[in-house]
Chain A
């Protein structure tokens, strides 16, 4: 069992937890993920590591309540425990040779983008961060980003806070103004990562995207997390759990990934509603 040492609501739909898992805390690097089960008989879900405290032995996770399992996780209180917590899985974000980086985060993806931005800052790179949210009440981690970024742009889709518009707007402006990034790293909804990649393409700047497909074991056994890269005109199957989760944005078949991500949409909707009813009934 793995204890929830601290729990904090970042906004009404996003929660941060610090979980006691010393072996994972010692090893996890930005860009890697963990898999957890809330209870016995529970589903395995992957969540990207949002930070670690190796001295204390804790791993920070930030999740949006989108389905049955995240609703159950959110119902757990500080001091309680979850059944399983395994990691770190996947390959850490590559940082070598990158002196000037642009981090583009969207929604809860900012939780994953933040440790990456912090790592580049720690390594002495020049960090520009663009973070976007649907509206002001969904904003998270602004102070944390400000602390590790040389330049920060906050966007809201509805204009309720900071700049109005989506994250591709300031990215394009910067690239058009002649900013030369060694790498653009984007983490967020697939559709956003697709458009960030398209926006960057005319400028020839490398783009890394963080993929989050449906996964079960997370150790390179089941093949459920496969995605297609297009390399030199050839379609190549890769596995996000062992080859990723970071991939070259120009090679990813986003449309296929989006379609595969919706495979169990009906099932998930139903399970979420059932869980919500159950949790309401319990209160």
Chain B
């Protein structure tokens, strides 16, 4: 049988339709398409895709189960390695991980591994009836700081080994960036809730409204009988550009803009938490978070949404698929441009003018790519005299975050690097005995799957540490 050269298209909402709703963009494979796509896997001997996966899912094995129609079996293969299959199938950058290594990809398009993973996870969530079996306790207590991707993964792996795991979450809902950052149209919150429920069924205890470093310290966790702690406290304070006008009303960090819309549900009609809707919006930055913010602004009713990015399309760090989706939906990419000032309204005659202090525009300068820097990336250089003004009412700044300072400032002996990231060794161990860390708290802003990989690594490290203690 000849191999289909291209991976099967993912059925999606039409761009013109989805640009005005918060429902999921990609609709997922049907069983028929999933079976056809599974047939494309060569089940090759080298299995390079497994090495491309940060959590080393046995990809050819789960696809082999799919080929026989054993979707639950396929799910069981994935869940041995991944605590959050339905999440990863949606938000992993597979094109630069597993799929980039696929043998089929040498001649044709690689197998749509991510799309298959998503199908299997959704099939399980829709059909599985048996509750997961709670493993026998090994009597050891581990505390996890933060219920984001790294913490949930670490918790899942340890719970399966029989550890008594408690997750402490600062916000009122578990999920971390999966609930406050990634929008509903890319990752429905019901899916995150379901994955968290799955962990609870394994015996994981999730305590919301506890800020480690404030409500309890890491030292107190040890006093309370926890034998090891994993810190997955995530991204911290948003970075701003330090240009004039960033305090005008209508300037948001991407974290704030997305938190208002996602966690606080400001996207709904008649929300309790406000957000600026409509008008013209400029999103500064070129990462996945910038794409999420731009597409959220559009769905909130913006007339026009710009992405302002200082390099060219080639250097844009966001996933290709997200960029394509954004372009299809009508996001206007202003490349090789950089903001120099946020402009605002000030009526000198009437200090009570209600328009005072609101954004009226974003002054940008055009850039060109200069000499490559040490990393080989061509540095953007401003073109003198090329300033111009984008007429906007809202500016969302999506240029990254710095690790959260709360834990570091309240934990003696915890070493951090110059950027504030917690320093860990190859097994996720920090400078404090029994304290492990991973995810954005270590690396600064990165991907969900790399955080999950770090959570997995730390779970292994913690297990080895406690078994030999």
Contact = CB atoms under 8 A, between A and B. Distances in A.
B265 interface: yes
A226 interface: yes
Interface residues of A, number: 43
Nearest to A242: B405
Contact of B247 (A23, A83, A219, A228): A228
Interface stretch (A85-93, A102-110, A121-129, A161-169): A85-93
Contact of B236 (A84, A221, A227): A221
A89 B211 contact: yes
Nearest to A261: B249
Interface stretch (B253-261, B293-301, B313-321, B334-342): B253-261
B264 A221 contact: no
Given A23-B215, A23-B216, A242-B406, A68 B240 contact: no
Contacts of B208: 84
A173 B219 CA distance: 49
Given A86-B170, A220-B405, A24 B237 contact: no
Chain B at the A interface: SS class:
loop
B247 A88 contact: no
A263 interface: yes
A27 B240 CA distance: 32
Nearest to B170: A219
B265 A41 contact: yes
A228 B245 CA distance: 11
B264 A216 contact: yes
A224 interface: yes
B181 to A, nearest CB: 9
A96 interface: no
B274 A267 contact: yes
Given A44-B264, A220-B405, A223-B237, A271 B272 contact: yes
A250 B259 CA distance: 32
Contacts of A256: 247, 357
Contact of B273 (A43, A237, A262): A43
B179 to A, nearest CB: 12
A273 B354 CA distance: 20
B256 A223 contact: yes
A252 to B, nearest CB: 12
Nearest to B253: A223
Residue with the highest number of chain B CB atoms closer than 10 Å, among A221, A256, A259, A260:
A221
A265 B171 contact: no
Nearest to A40: B172
A91 B265 CA distance: 29
A217 B272 contact: no
Interface residue SS majority, chain A: mixed
B170 A217 contact: yes
A42 B253 CA distance: 22
Contacts of A24: 215
Contacts of B357: 256, 259-260, 262
A43 B264 CA distance: 7
Q: Which interface residue of A88, A220, A268 has the most chain B CB atoms within 10 A? A: A220
Given A216-B260, A260-B357, A86 B172 contact: yes
A209 B300 CA distance: 37
Interface in A211-249: 216-217, 219-224, 226-228, 237, 239, 242
Contacts of A43: 264, 272-273
Contacts of A23: 210, 215-216
Interface in B195-254: 208-211, 214-216, 234-238, 240, 242, 246-247, 249-250, 252-253
Give the 5 A-B CB pairs with smallest separation, nearest first. Answer: A259-B357, A223-B253, A86-B209, A223-B238, A222-B256
Given A221-B236, A271-B274, 15 more contacts: A23-B216, A84-B172, A86-B209, A87-B211, A216-B260, A219-B170, A219-B404, A220-B404, A221-B234, A222-B253, A224-B252, A224-B253, A262-B357, A267-B274, A268-B274
Interface of B: 170-172, 180, 208-211, 214-216, 234-238, 240, 242, 246-247, 249-250, 252-253, 255-256, 259-260, 263-265, 272-274, 354, 356-357, 404-406
Interface of A: 23-24, 27, 37, 41-44, 68-69, 83-89, 216-217, 219-224, 226-228, 237, 239, 242, 253, 256, 259-260, 262-268, 271
